[in-house]
Structure 1
């Protein structure tokens, strides 16, 4: 039997010039070398591509924990450090879609001794937890439990032993997931423990059918688009657990708003600045900047304004008479 197999180069038909084609070929070779080296030495992979799914106003990743593997999901959070999941026995657990992880049924679970200096880690000390427990807070949500190590599996391919929080007491709304995966810069975050020096993510809109992706390692590179357009980037301002960026100005349409840049100025000693936080479903601004934007938007949208703070938590909504359709009375829409 004879097969006629035709091969097409990966950059065939692309708009890249000769220099860019050479650069892309060199990068592919370097990525390939890293991947082969990781397989030979049985270390962390050169890269990981983990699907990300929208849930409510957060984004979650799916993975497995324990031996045998238990599939669970957790909120992806660049604004925190700890990786944790709810565990049995639960003194107080919030509702989650997947079964709650039971460490007694996993052969790879290992509780960290109470004498470990990990319990004195600065992240936990600020919440003053009881002896031999960790505690973390996320605004109106929180978690408390014991520290342990366990096998985590991502994408069905890569497994790693991670230190994590085995939560026995959880409060708040975690969008039906089992916990949180922290991507901060601290030593307990997923990035630090997997020893990846870079990551990137692309979040598609909540109503989109396209998948979002979390890229870890060598795949998290700034690449030109198919049209040859160079990517835009901005540096982080510090190396603490939070990712601060320099916000200078805000425009509405093509007009820059009269907001002093000093309002957004980064000051580490005061905890001031603009933080990139994937665990927050809304962009939040200092009151002076918010007031300017609110006033400008109101001048464009000539509809009755409604304060919906007590119902949906938003103070500046507009009453749209066409929703829902008549003959129902008008309802406020944010």
Structure 2
């Protein structure tokens, strides 16, 4: 994770539907009632265009890409662990009685953590800092705990201690504990409590980028994530278009594929690849890219996850735009420029790599070439708004992608208005075109 001082990240309004299942290693009772949680759009009071929102998010998004590349290529690194920050805030509560806090939801990391009192150093957060002494359900995790053993980031010092260090040297340090987390069903205002969730109690935290939330909830593939701790076999999410300020959804457990009964024929499945070097990430097998009618001459090996843990592509909710291996991206950029028939801008593009000057009239007649990602078993054709970001007031139309010198990332702009199902039992991922605000 890396941050910019003002944390110019675009958060989307997210409704979270939870059917919380029981892990065999936990004593939590099964929860069968779907829970709907409303999350706030941080820029709802600000009049940003879609292009401006993406431009604001670019510094952090680029830093996140660089951080994830470090994670994927430095396979022997154990401490500190470099992790990534997500784009979405979940409003939940912790402890008994429950104390509310907002947490960043991140598919690119595992650890669940929040700031705890007393703090040696804590960043400003929008909700009161959690005080374990005021909770009757709090318990520290000993070093002998399986969760502590699973961590590559802990040391033993009067309990299980952790350290997460992020790409710009922001970090969270503290101790592992167990607590009850409560999710509020916004439909009927009914709380749903889940006991015995392992989390990090951060007492030494610094980095201005954290200030929009009060911690993180990891949804990665590792043993510390919420997905793993509660034994979920499936989860999905559906993201509305950035800037629309409409409802998005995260669905866990039995609700994850509820929409597939009517959309199975539209489902597109591709294998999830597992990396022993970075088991947290959801890797996809990208085989090629087509611009318009032109299949780019990209060698298969260029896009593959290599034996040393480098390369490959992950799908990530916390990265705004997509990053493509640099040689492949240069081919994409050249072909896209050729087919667009517009002048590449010489003005400030706000950090985006490829922008075009829009004509002053007849904007609706501009023809944008189709863009298709060829994953194993899936030809994913993206809607134009998922890769071409236009702003008529600025007179620009920009490609929402950039180059990476290591790992490739399918960002959340490219994922918008697809129901994306992670099936961890069959080790596969699917895309279903969906109007996410109507899900």
SS, match of residue 214 in structure 1: strand
Give TM-score scaled by structure 2 length.
0.57
Superposition pairs of residues 317-328 of structure 1, within 5 angstroms? 317-318=355-356
- Whether 1:99 and 2:128 are equivalent positions in the alignment is yes
Quickly say closer, same or farther: Cα 1:294–1:149, change in 2 above 3 A: same
Q: Per-residue deviation at 1:254?
A: 4.1
SS, match of residue 335 in structure 2: helix
Whether the 8 Å contact between 1:304 and 1:319 is mirrored in structure 2 is yes
- Whether 1:232 and 2:268 are equivalent positions in the alignment is yes
Whether the 8 Å contact between 1:203 and 1:213 is mirrored in structure 2 is yes
SS, match of residue 153 in structure 2: helix
Quickly say closer, same or farther: Cα 1:268–1:181, change in 2 above 3 A: farther
Match of 1:251 in 2: 290
Superposition pairs of residues 84-95 of structure 1, within 5 angstroms? 84-95=113-124
Whether the 8 Å contact between 1:50 and 1:215 is mirrored in structure 2 is no
Whether the 8 Å contact between 1:49 and 1:215 is mirrored in structure 2 is no
Structure 1's unaligned 5+ residue stretches are 1-31, 36-40
Aligned-partner Cα distance in 2 for 1:321–1:89: 58
Larger mean CA deviation between 48-57 and 266-275 belongs to 48-57
Give TM-score scaled by structure 1 length.
0.73
2:167 aligned residue (121, 139, 161)? 139
Match of 2:47 in 1: none
CA RMSD, Structure 1 to Structure 2 (Å): 3.5
**Larger Cα Rg: Structure 1 or Structure 2?**
1
Structure 2's unaligned 5+ residue stretches are 1-18, 22-26, 44-56, 58-86, 185-190, 361-390, 399-439
Alignment size in residue pairs: 288
Match of 2:6 in 1: none
Match of 2:380 in 1: none
Quickly say closer, same or farther: Cα 1:232–1:333, change in 2 above 3 A: closer
CA deviation vs aligned residue, 1:35-65 (integer Å, no higher than 9, x gap): 9xxxxx9722247455464557511211111
1:286 aligned residue (287, 300, 325)? 325
Superposition pairs of residues 171-250 of structure 1, within 5 angstroms? 171-174=207-210, 176-221=212-257, 223-224=259-260, 226=262, 229-238=265-274, 240-250=279-289
SS, match of residue 89 in structure 1: coil
Superposition pairs of residues 1-334 of structure 1, within 5 angstroms? 43-46=29-32, 48-51=34-37, 53=39, 54-55=41-42, 58-113=87-142, 118-119=147-148, 121-124=150-153, 132-140=160-168, 141-155=170-184, 156-168=191-203, 169-174=205-210, 176-221=212-257, 223-224=259-260, 226=262, 229-238=265-274, 240-299=279-338, 300=340, 301-305=342-346, 313-318=351-356
Q: Per-residue deviation at 1:216?
A: 1.1
CA deviation vs aligned residue, 1:119-138 (integer Å, no higher than 9, x gap): 4544315xx89885201234
